[in-house]
Amino acid sequence: MSVPYIRLFHDMRNIAINGTDIPDGTLELLSRRLPPSWRIAGRGSGGVITLRAPDGSTGRMTVVNRRRMDPRDVLALERLVGRDLSSQLVVAPFLSARARELLRDSGASYADATGNVRIALPKPGLFIEAEGARKDPSREKRPLASLKGPASGRVIRALCDVRPPYGVRRLSEIAQTPPASVSRVIALLQREALVDRDERGGVSAVDWAKLLQRWAQDYQVLSSNEPASFLDPRGVSAFLQRVPTYKRPIAVTGSLAAVRRAPVAPPRMAMAYVEDPAAAAKALALRPADAGANVMLLRPFDPVVFVRTWTEEGVSFAALSQVAADLLSSPGRGPAEGEELIAWMGKHPDAWRA
Amino acid sequence: MPGAPDPLYVNAREVLLEALEALGAHRASLILVGAQAIYFHTGEADIAVAPFTTDADVVIDPTSLADQPVLGEALQASGFVAGQDPGQWFKDEVRVDLMVPETIAGPGRRGVRMGPHGNRAARKARGLEGALVDHETREIASFDGSRRFAIAVAGPAALLVSKLHKLAERAGEAGRTKDKDALDLLRLLRGIDVETLVRAIGRLRSDDRSATVTGEALQYLERLFGRPDSLGSTLAARAAEGLEPADTIQQSCAVLANDLLSAVRPS
């Protein structure tokens, strides 16, 4: 029989890294599920477990203990052992609904650390099935590795725009983000020493300037959002003058916003968030630009870009925290302008921070 | 951020006001044209160049010009010095050009024969005819506000026509085209909406004095600015170098020129 090397390796991985002992916690959980007067009689060598019925008869199952047992691993197990797994007890920290379904189909017994248990012993006859967790609890606990996503963006914007202290619940309201996601973001920021937490888990201090710089490492204005380039043949200022006539949500960002506060050069490129760039371009009399674009419309990574905006001369500008992150992650002189803006924000916290 | 006006521009405005003061009695026969008139309408028109010009261009309508005081004498009395060519007057290194639209300038090669005013006070120029038709009285003041005069200022369409004639006339002559003239044209196209230009161009075309030069100017517009790589578009981009990307300027020229051309063409 020829087995592709990759497949063989995949199968071997599961065997190699796992033992045959049932972890104590799972064993105890299993024994509690047994009917009264059934016992776990022994854990023999070679990963065999023996169950004893009230009448003294015993049945044996081979333990397959895995750190992970994904649905595809069940299929791999079948290839190793055979389609009939009725003499196998699969043990893992967590078994997904799909993995359990596949195990059931092949007659296997199983037990995970969350309480998903199935014992189907033909002789002496025993059948137990119990439900544990539907979601892998370790997945929830796995630390957040990046600040790319919309939830991170909303939480970071809230941490910058609103002064602490606040608890997770309050922050979750400000950021319009579930508390679990807020906690994960805060945990990452705490690891990176960008926020301080009090003894009750709330946020007591935020280094917002460093936080914006850290955000801009993962968030990129031109790739996190969806940009489209246009030409306003009358120039960037003319575009800005037309913005108040646009009746859908719009938030001007980039140097056109920064120049209102910080000493940055006159902008050559207008940047604005709109829900639908094509429709907005039409309404704002912009031309499609193959070359010479001077207006960039961005479909936002999240509606948070329209939150806590400020208005001057009828023009709605993105919050300065958003503008700063957009500049820091822009090409060309954007990062330098972002630094200028952050310096201004540092000197005038009352002008932008609630 | 736009700062204080360029000192050269301030000085040019001062000299223009001095000329207007000197020509006080004839002020009703004068129409401001050229770059100073353009900036009057457009401000900066979003090109991040401080608008400055060191010359002042003034059209004389000889049909309403009184015999006294004599133009040259009045200017000389105020410290202006006649230049080499007819119509050139200098003060503080600023040049004031007095010009008469060719169509109504009568015979003569360059200078205009203006009776008691002589042949050298003003010069003939083609393309300025629109100023006689399209102008309005505005108040022009020095930057410090110390002096102000009411004077007719040529309308945007008339200025567009005259700039196009100037560019076209010089397009064939190496070294005489000025990038700034092309950028001034873009200022007009950017700063004035199409409907306003179309209405005024209609008036210029229906007036015998300006109909021909206006038709010519629209041909020049297509030839000089109709494409991003046309001569005028590239000159404008060069004038805005370092302030706006060349591609943006060139594309803007072509888009706006074609917008206007398709709006004025009979459909």
> Mutate which of A229, A232, A234 to disrupt the B interface (most B C-beta within 10 Å)?
A234
Identify the band that residue A8 occupies on the pLDDT scale cut at 50, 70 and 90. very low
Contacts of B181 (CB under 8 A, 6+ apart): B163, B166, B167, B170, B235
Average pLDDT, chain A: 88
pLDDT > 50? residue A9: no
Report the residue of chain A nearest B47, measured CA to CA. Answer: A235
Whether residues B228 and A292 touch (CB distance < 8 A) is answered with yes
Question: Residue A11 — pLDDT band, cuts 50, 70, 90?
Answer: very low
Across the interface, whether the CB atoms of B252 and A236 are under 8 A apart is answered no
| pTM for the structure as a whole | 0.71
Say if residue A242 is exposed, middle or buried (CB neighbours under 10 Å; 0-12, 13-18, 19+): middle
Give the pair of three-digit tokens for residue A116. Answer: 């998903």
Q: State the pLDDT confidence band at A13, using cuts at 50, 70 and 90.
A: very low
Q: What is the pLDDT of residues B208-245, one digit of tens each?
A: 999 999 999 999 999 999 999 999 999 999 988 878 89
* Separate counts of helices (H) and strands (E) for chain B: 10, 8
3-class DSSP assignment, residue A41? strand
B228 and A294: CB-CB below 8 Å?
no
pLDDT one-digit tens code per residue, B174-209: 666 678 889 999 999 999 999 999 999 999 999 999
Range with lowest mean pLDDT among A150-164, A198-212, B30-44? B30-44
B211 vs A242: CA distance, rounded Å: 34
Yes or no, beta carbons of B252 and A234 under 8 Å apart: yes
Contacts of B40 (CB under 8 A, 6+ apart): B32, B138, B140, B153
Highest mean pLDDT among A72-76, A320-324, B33-37, B180-184: A320-324
Q: Where are the beta strands (DSSP E) in chain B?
A: 30-33, 55-60, 81-82, 88-91, 94-101, 123-125, 135-141, 148-154
Residue A44 reports pLDDT greater than 80: no
B58-78: average pLDDT: 91
User: Once rounded to an integer, what is the mean pLDDT over residues A3-14?
Assistant: 39
Of B45, B191, B248, which has the smallest distance from its Cβ to A292's Cβ?
B248
B-chain CB neighbours of A237 within 8 Å are 46
Look at the block and give the residue holding tokens 């914007």: A157
Q: Look at the block and give the residue holding tokens 């870009």.
A: A305
The residue type at A182: V
**pLDDT attached to residue B252:** 96
pLDDT band at B13 (very low <50, low <70, confident <90, very high): confident
Q: Report DSSP letters for A284-295, one per residue.
A: TT-EE-SS---E
Q: How confident is the model at residue B35 (pLDDT cuts 50, 70, 90)?
A: confident
Tell me how close the Cα of A237 comes to any Cα of chain B, in angstroms: 6
- Amino acid, res. A150: P
Measured from the Cβ of residue A35, the count of other Cβ atoms closer than 10 Å reads 11
H or E stretch covering B36: helix B34-42
Q: What is the per-residue pLDDT across A221-239, written as a single tens digit (0 to 9) for each?
A: 999 999 999 999 999 989 9
Beta-carbon separation of B247 and A237 below 8 A: no
C-alpha to C-alpha distances, B111 to A123, B8, B114, B166, B226, nearest whole angstrom: 124, 28, 9, 18, 34
Q: Which two tokens stand for residue B219?
A: 């041909």
* Chain B nearest C-alpha distance from A301 (Å): 28
Give the domain ranges of chain B.
Answer: 7-154, 156-264
Q: B247 in contact with A at a CB cutoff of 8 Å? A: yes
Compute the 3-state secondary structure of chain A and give helix, strand, coil in percent, each to the nearest 5. Answer: 40, 20, 40
List the structure tokens of B31: 């129409």
| pLDDT over 70, % of chain B | 92
Decide if A233 and B256 are in contact by the 8 Å CB cutoff. yes
Tokens of residue B6, six digits: 């360029």
Which neighbouring-strand residues pair with A51? A40, A59
Chain A, chain B: beta-carbon pairs less than 8 Å apart: 54
As a whole number of angstroms, the distance between CA B111 and CA A336 comes to 57
